[in-house]
Amino acid sequence: MATGGFKDSVLLNAIGLMDKKFNSFELRKPVFGAERAFLEKRSMLIPNVDAIRLAEQQTVTAKYLERNAVAIGSARSCSPTAYYDDTGTLDLSWTTYSHTAKTSVKIGENNYYDQLVLFQNDIYNRFLDLHTQIEADAVAYLEANRTGIQGNRTLNTWNGAADVMQVALADRDDYLNYIKTEMYADNYRGTLQDIHSINMMAMYRQQFAQGASNDENLQFQYPGFMHYDSAAVTNGTGNVFGTSYIVEEGGIALLDWIPALNRRGQESKKGEVWTTMPDPFGMPLTWAVFITDGCADTTYSSGTDPRGATQDYVRTYEFSVDLSFNRAPLTAAGQEVINKYELLTV
């Protein structure tokens, strides 16, 4: 278990320190494709996303128009009857994600790296933790809310026990072509978001690299797709090479919310600060920041290597955001906008 405190880089240890190139390997960032897929087209699903983010309450009700199938008539009438279509409501549920980092004057003074560099490293690591969890939750949401019916999809094989369309190895060259055709048959005719396992990159790169002069050019099937790699998308048991979650753009959305106090900005007489910061990884998220400071003992409590001092000045930062994963609602039993596909190895 990591003890923290940058014990391994204290000057008195006289250890060899890693340069920027070596640090880039240790701190390499995974891809967060599922999270980005939820964020990129969210305004198409919920146009007033900015207004929702300003709401003080965490539970927000979204309204939508329902599909209401009514039997058609077979005759004319002087007194025809009509029906009012229905609207539905959807309560948005929220989950808080928070993490902390801190600065120490004395640790910075006793360290090869100054306080600012140490703090930058802290922030980077904490946001790696945060986005790794958000990515895992995004994929879990896709899996939990995939469609449970075959619909009009007939080119591939429907596995009703696993709620997934399975594409045979023999049809790998038409993987995206068959998916687009089946989604079209189910009346999804816009651009499709493909959130897929890392394995699929190998096939996609090979197919997309084929030029017009090749004996078999498979590039025709790539327009109309937006691809998102995600290491959090894993393959199910059995002969599965790769996995995709397919949803028409605007079908999924990730909303973010932070308290109004942070948005306004506030400082207490004790030096506590409420403020905001943009996402350091470039995601379209705003994070709430709460800052406290004071005296703390930062001497190392186990071992012989000194860290800071018994009377150190420490400032603690808490980063937090409330997130809500959402999908476009469908009223048909078992039907969802999220469609799971698997490419088999047989």
Per-residue pLDDT of the chain (346 residues; tens, 9 = 90+): 444 443 333 323 323 333 454 456 666 778 899 999 999 988 887 777 777 666 666 666 665 555 566 676 778 778 777 766 666 666 788 999 999 988 877 776 666 566 677 778 888 889 999 999 999 999 999 999 999 999 999 999 999 999 999 999 999 999 999 999 999 999 999 999 999 999 999 998 888 776 554 555 555 667 889 999 999 999 988 899 999 999 999 999 999 999 999 999 999 988 899 999 899 888 999 999 998 988 888 887 555 455 778 888 888 889 999 999 999 888 888 999 999 999 999 9
Nearest to 45 by CA among 165, 179, 176, 190: 190
Predicted confidence at residue 23, as pLDDT, reads 58
Residue 205's Cβ-count burial label (10 Å; 0-12, 13-18, 19+) is: exposed
Predicted confidence at residue 140, as pLDDT, reads 98
What's this model's pTM, rounded to 2 decimal places?
Answer: 0.82
Q: CA 222, 223, 224, 230 torsion: positive or negative?
A: positive
Torsion, CA 57, CA 58, CA 59, CA 64, rounded to 10: 90
Predicted confidence at residue 6, as pLDDT, reads 39
Three-class SS of residue 230? strand
Number of residues assigned to the chain: 346
Residue 257's Cβ-count burial label (10 Å; 0-12, 13-18, 19+) is: buried
Q: Which residues pair with 196 in a beta bridge?
A: 229, 244
Predicted confidence at residue 258, as pLDDT, reads 92
The gap between the terminal CA atoms of the chain, to the nearest Å, is 43
How far apart, in whole angstroms, are the C-alpha atoms of residue 253 and residue 62? Answer: 13
How far is Cα of residue 79 from the mean position of the Cα atoms in its chain? Answer: 53
Q: Which residues pair with 267 in a beta bridge?
A: 273
How far apart, in whole angstroms, are the C-alpha atoms of residue 263 and residue 257? Answer: 10
How far apart, in whole angstroms, are the C-alpha atoms of residue 191 and residue 143? Answer: 21
Predicted confidence at residue 70, as pLDDT, reads 65
Site of tokens 């002087």: 78
Pull the structure tokens for residue 243.
């996995």
